[in-house]
Amino acid sequence: MEHGGITCLIGLGGNTGPVEDTFVAAIQRLNCENCQITALSRNFRTAPMGPDAGGRFTNAAASLNTDLSPLKMLDLLQQVEDDFGRVHNIHWGSRPLDLDLLFYGRQVIHTPRLTVPHPGLWYRRFVLDPLVEIAADWKHPENGHSIAQLRTRLDQRPLVIDVEGLDTLPVIPPRYTNGLAKLRTIPAGPDANTADQPSFCEVRVYNDGEQPQQSGKYETHDFRIDVSRANVTALIEALLTAAIGS
């Protein structure tokens, strides 16, 4: 069936079971009365992000046209995940299938259930590598960068992360110390990043009891992340794993 409607970009991931077969079956499920798949990337093998993620992942991306509303589209993706055994009990945990709604047309959506564009896609190579294959010129509706431009940012070496709010910087994981990544301390303030070498992002570290400035821990529309002092080391390692791989 031909659909006009809205073009959506979807991220696929998984690392348990026959993932590539699961992708094929999931795409068949998404080619339904209300949706039509229009492009599909090849599969990529990627590094797991986070201590509970398990083994290496397989990732891909797809574009589809739909006449479903954003929340109905989310409902469909989550139903397909559940049907293939997805359990949502561990953040960044292992899974047979992950279906992320990355873009819903050019819309910007912030609801308790759904944030679109996906707030983490800008630093995740495992999202951007597949997306470049099918939508390199697609532009982020908030920051104006194309998918290709976002992906190119990940090639910066060293990948510089500016840290505000810590007197002593965390230790970079050893696999990223050979010129791959660099942490810098910056003074507080919105215009703090004045160094000649541009940063990949800024991490603002806040103390216990202090409220983050942004609406969420991973608010990244200007490539700035707020994070609690207790979580800064884990966050930076996750950023580097997602952006560089291993």
pLDDT at 215: 40
- The answer to whether the beta carbons of residues 126 and 13 sit under 8 Å apart is yes
- From the candidates 100, 129, 162, 226, give the one annotated as an active-site residue: 100
Instruction: Tell me how crowded residue 147 is: count the other CB atoms within 10 A of its CB.
Output: 26
Mean pLDDT in runs of 10 for the chain (246 residues)?
A: 79 96 97 94 93 88 97 96 80 84 97 94 95 97 92 92 90 90 81 65 81 49 77 90 88
Of 21, 82, 83, 95, the catalytic one is 95
Q: Please name the helix (run of DSSP H) or strand (run of DSSP E) that holds residue 102, with its range, or none.
A: strand 98-104
Catalytic, out of 21, 52, 83, 98? 98
- The domains of the chain, with CATH numbers, are 6-153 (3.30.70.560), 159-244 (no CATH)
- Token code pair at residue 174: 């050893």
Predicted structure pTM score: 0.89
Annotated catalytic residue 98: yes
Residue (of 166, 68, 168) closest to 114 by Cα position: 68
pLDDT number for residue 50: 78
The rounded distance, in Å, linking the Cα atoms of 100 and 61 is: 9
Please indicate whether residue 137 is annotated as part of the active site: no
CA 109 and chain centroid, separation:
16
Out of 29, 86, 106, 184, pick the active-site residue.
86
Residue 86 among the catalytic residues: yes
